[in-house]
Structure 1
Amino acid sequence: MASEPMTTQTTSWFGSTTEQSGPRSPPQYALVASETIDLESSSSELITSVVEALIDVIEPAGGQTTLSLYEYVDPDALENIIEASASKQSDVEVRFTIEDYLVTVRSDYTILIHESLGAHSDASEKFRHK
């Protein structure tokens, strides 16, 4: 019995799904984690959820269980943008990179973590969906 090929969902920094070639092609990322936070959550839970999702995927060296977002993005500004967008029911997403990962936080309280296709040989093996 032949198995069906596994499809990997990919994106680029700007969300383009078109293939480009050449020396200046934008990096491509494969989705490795997706989590939607309960909409009843307070904004302080948003940052905690982002950090927990990142720690699950990145698996910091030495069993580290904390991650400082301040090195990559202003957590207060992220909370303010997402909270304001959610209260106005406008669709907004904030994207930033941490190491070889592209993190997207949407105003519907969805967190998407994409791994650079150049970072590891098979990012699709790490895919998980909460």
Structure 2
Amino acid sequence: MASESMTTQTTSWFGSTTEQSGPRSPPQYALVASATINLEASNLELVTEVVNALSDVVEPATGQTTLSLYEYVNPDALEDIIGASASKKSDVEVRFTVEDYLVTIRSNNTILIYEPLGAHRGTGENPCPAS
């Protein structure tokens, strides 16, 4: 083939290696944003960084001007889980959804935001059609 196709990083709710039995397969998501933060150097809270990353991607519901993380996850518990895993040098990954976006927070202070495949803005079509 003369042209190269663009590869999109995808995942499902339970990760890309999970097999699903039954008539419906889990929704697939495409990575749309990521951030790695150094909380010690920036003196910022994890929750603040998550909200900042989300606000660049997620459009608030009609009439809303802010995004409240409390509607989707307990921010105090999120900080406790990530903080405890960092102090114990264990790897943890917390996943939750905001609107239709899948948000992944890792204990290495990485924030990944995925949107459902087929929801790519501007095209209205799925970039990876079902086979």
Shorter-chain TM range is: 0.7 to 0.9
The residue identity in structure 1 corresponding to 2:96 is: F
RMSD: 2.6
- In 2, the alpha carbon distance for the partners of 1:36 and 1:63 equals 30
What TM-score does the superposition give when structure 2 sets the normalisation length?
0.79
What TM-score does the superposition give when structure 1 sets the normalisation length?
0.80
1:61: how far off?
5.3
Which SS does the other structure have where 2:45 is aligned? helix
Tell me the matched-pair count. 123
The answer to which structure, 1 or 2, has the higher relative contact order (CA under 8 A, 6+ apart) is 1
The residue identity in structure 1 corresponding to 2:52 is: E
Deviation string, structure 1 residues 42-100 (Cα, Å, up to 9, x no partner): 78521000001001011335695521111110000000000000111100010001111
Larger C-alpha radius of gyration, 1 or 2? 2
Q: Larger % of helix: which?
A: 1
Alignment gaps of 5+ in structure 2: none
Distance 1:90 1:123, change over 3 A: farther
Percent identity between matched residues is: 79
1:4: how far off?
2.3
